[in-house]
Amino acid sequence: MGKLGFGLMRLPQLNADDPKSIDREQVCRMADRFLERGFTYFDTAYMYHDHESERAVKDVITKRYPRDSYTLATKLPLFQLEKAEDMERIFNEQLEKTGEEYFDYYLLHALGGDRYESVQQMGCFDFIAQKKAEGKVRHIGFSFHDKAEVLDRILNDHPEVEFVQLQLNYLDWESKDVQSRKCYETAVKHGKKVVVMEPVKGGTLAKLPAKAEELLRNVHPDWSNASWAIRFAASLENVMIVLSGMSSMEQMEDNSGYMQDMEPLTEEEKQLLLHDVVDIIHEAAKIPCTACRYCVEGCPMNIAIPDYFALYNAEQEDKGDPAHKERYAELSKEHGKASDCVECGQCEGVCPQHLPVTEWLKKTAKIFER
């Protein structure tokens, strides 16, 4: 099916401030090109685009293509489960929203040590195994955001899972928090195939500092920054799929173009990324937010956390641009300000990047609320 997967998490929108306003017409064209070039793997989740992504699947894919022409993955939202009965209700809702009779890949969403015990007690692994036995799921796995030792424990406890979805990119390869390399090696040790998420780290590796971009262009003038990142992940032997959350037809053309006949990175090219480029990025000292928006839904003060962090990063690049403060003022009319944070910790509990969100909000407030 080709190693490129279409992540339905950052789809183009008709209204930038409304995640539900998916530009279905453009997504249809993107899906057409994706399938036309030989790729089949679509990845969505219950909460993506404020619970609208799975509905978009029905309009963009299910209604327009025969079932054997694509593969579909979605996820059980562990952080929205209150009782065991919720699993069946949500699963049936997902089938109805997508218009499907079964899912090719079904994952426990965002599993980590902090919720592993509750997942065990609620019987989540038994639930997805039962769905596989019923024929409503073809393959079972989980997406993971934690340390390698936790992943090792889970895979020892549950050898029945067939694959794991990991955050893997060259910036996080040796990260103490994300541990991309160690988690990948743990999956390999257990004989599990890997689906890669965040290969471009929420767009961070598509917009590199000028110095880093120059280094890469000197080697391959015609390669985009994003293509370097996706090639890095796709070059790993045990990687089954590399997901890209493509937000425009331009990104689809680029990614599906070079991934049709993907040229793996040489060892020298890998080292260029892992050392030279990573060092330059770390010097820039931005907030490493990937805009997954997991933090937004449960925020009691309705703070537009990822949007504010994007403005903070933009301000670091182009200090004093009045457009940044104007945008902040516009957003804060409908959302809580950064200074409204009550430090409840909900955001930090669900952040896949393990960011000290409350501290970054304080720094954001100092810049935009003076």
146-191: pLDDT as tens digits = 999 999 999 999 999 999 999 999 999 999 989 999 999 999 999 9
pLDDT digits (tens, 9 = 90+) for 194-253: 999 999 998 889 999 999 999 999 999 999 999 999 999 999 999 999 999 999 999 999
pTM across the whole model = 0.84
List the one residue out of 124, 120, 179 whose CA is nearest residue 151.
179
H or E element that contains 170: none
Query: Using N-to-C axis directions, what is the helix angle for 322-331 and 357-368, rounded to 10°?
Result: 120
Q: What is the mean pLDDT of residues 40-65?
A: 98
CB 108, CB 125: distance < 8 Å: yes
Contact 78, 51 (CB under 8 A): no
Smallest CA-to-CA distance from 1 within 187, 250, 256 is with 256
207 φ, ψ (degrees, to nearest 5): -120, 80
| DSSP secondary structure code for residue 338 in this structure | G
What are 58-86's pLDDT values in tens digits?
999 999 999 999 999 999 999 899 999 99
* Per-residue DSSP letter, 266: P
For residue 253, the model assigns a pLDDT of 97
Q: How far is CA 368 from the centre of its chain?
A: 28
**Whether the predicted pLDDT of 286 surpasses 90:** no
Residue 338: its pLDDT value, please? Answer: 95
The mean pLDDT value for 38-64 works out to: 97
Q: Decide: 187 and 238 in contact? Cβ < 8 Å.
A: yes
More confident residue, 319 or 365: 365
| Residue 19 banded pLDDT, cuts 50, 70, 90 | very high
What mean pLDDT value characterizes the chain?
Answer: 94
Look at the block and give the residue holding tokens 């403005």. 311
Whether the CA torsion 241, 47, 138, 156 is positive or negative: it is positive
For residues 224 and 162, give the distance between their C-alpha atoms in angstroms, rounded to a whole number.
33
- Residue 21 to residue 126: CA distance in whole angstroms: 35
| Relative orientation angle of helices 113-122 and 124-133, to the nearest 10 degrees | 60
pLDDT over 80 at 319, yes or no: no
- pLDDT surpassing 90 at residue 282: no
Cβ-proximal residues to 179 (8 Å cutoff; 6+ apart), any chain: 147, 148, 172
Rounded to 10°, the helix 210-219/225-234 angle is: 70
Contact indicator for 192, 130 with CB cutoff of 8 Å: no
* Cα angle 257, 258, 261; round to 5: 105
